Amino acid sequence: MKLDGQQLTAFAAVIELGSFDAAAERLHVTPSAISQRIKGLEQRVGQVLVVREKPCRATAAGIPLLRLAAQTAMLESEALAETAGGSTERTRIAIAVNADSMATWFNAVFDRLPGVLFDIRIEDQDHSAQLLREGAVMGAVTTERAPVPGCRVQSLGVMRYVPVAAAEYVREHLPDGFTAAAAAAAPSLAWNRDDALQDNLIRRAFRRPIGRPVHYVPTAEGFGAAVRAGLGWGMYPEQLVNADFVQITDVHLDVPLYWQSWKMDSVLVGTVGDAVLDAAAALR
């Protein structure tokens, strides 16, 4: 079975942009033409590929084709760039990175890749590999050691997190130190309900889970500002700790990070991987 390139391109555009109309505008065709291409692709593979909601999303059967479309587009761009008098357009690369990596070491990648257009997706390191599975990105900084199907894994190092708070917060809420009773009563912080760092620290410190009051602050800047304002204690990258913070216990967490990327014969994929590995030398 041979797949049609225009159909794959239309499918990828619909999923990326979320609608048939937006895909039609990008590809300079009518929404009807996009609909026909999607229907043709679905008939060819014998599966429904698009959940026609707002926004449109890929079905489980569509995810492998979404990844194929992205990989094909990248290889085509590379081939044109290598051809004499070929395309001068920069290749766009989509990468999933956790916010703490972006705030500490990952920005060094940008200096090493001046010739590309970045599409950075900020995602928790425990969940970023899901974007690889969905075909939304070509590489991800993740805590997952097992390779996503169709991907290769490279170790980046360890990011150390330490529990910190403001000095005034420590005087008010932790006068006797970071005890189990204090952990249960003192306000704490988390990025969102998927952020397990604080819970993991408590389990490591006290050998059991402890319920606690939690503020949710889902940005790197906001999280740091909340700690400085005395809103609660939270886990913070060691590289970002300064005189504004007090470490509330000697217990810390070391989080191994990995680079997962498409396993394909692509110069650009290899170059991106090399740049990420070089930048990750700042990790432990």
Which CATH homologous superfamily contains domain 159-255?
Periplasmic binding protein-like II (3.40.190.10)
CATH C-level class of 1-89 = mainly alpha
Burial 71-104 (b: 16+ CB within 10 A, else e): bebbbebbeebeeeeeeeeebebbbbbbbbbebb
Give the alpha-carbon dihedral of 275, 276, 281, 284, to 10 degrees: 180
Please tell me the distance from the alpha carbon of residue 36 to that of residue 4, in angstroms, as a whole number: 12
| Digit-coded pLDDT (tens) for 253-281 | 999 999 999 998 888 999 999 999 999 99
Domains 1-89 and 159-255 share a fold: no
At 86 the pLDDT is 56
At 84 the pLDDT is 59
- Are 8 and 27 contacting, i.e. CB atoms less than 8 angstroms apart? no
Biggest CA pair distance of the chain: 71
At 284 the pLDDT is 85
Pairing assessment for the beta strands 151-165 and 50-51 based on DSSP bridges? unpaired
Q: What is the pLDDT along the chain (284 residues), one digit of tens a residue?
A: 788 999 999 999 999 999 999 999 999 999 999 999 999 999 999 999 999 999 999 998 998 898 888 888 888 887 877 775 655 677 889 999 998 999 999 999 999 998 889 999 998 888 888 888 888 899 999 999 999 988 999 999 999 999 999 999 999 999 999 999 999 999 999 999 989 999 999 999 999 999 999 999 998 889 999 999 999 999 999 999 999 999 999 999 999 999 999 998 888 999 999 999 999 999 98
Tell me, rounded to whole angstroms, the distance of Cα 128 from its chain centroid. 4
Q: 10 Å Cβ neighbour count for 276? A: 24
3-class SS shares of the chain: helix, strand, coil, % to 5: 45, 20, 35
At 85 the pLDDT is 60
Domain ranges of the chain: 1-89, 159-255
Report the SS3 class of residue 46: coil
Please tell me the distance from the alpha carbon of residue 254 to that of residue 257, in angstroms, as a whole number: 10
At 203 the pLDDT is 97
- Are 139 and 132 contacting, i.e. CB atoms less than 8 angstroms apart? yes
| Digit-coded pLDDT (tens) for 23-73 | 999 999 999 999 999 999 999 999 999 999 999 999 989 988 988 888 888
**Entry pTM:** 0.83
- Are 200 and 253 contacting, i.e. CB atoms less than 8 angstroms apart? yes
- Are 141 and 259 contacting, i.e. CB atoms less than 8 angstroms apart? yes
Q: Please name the amino acid found at residue 273.
A: G
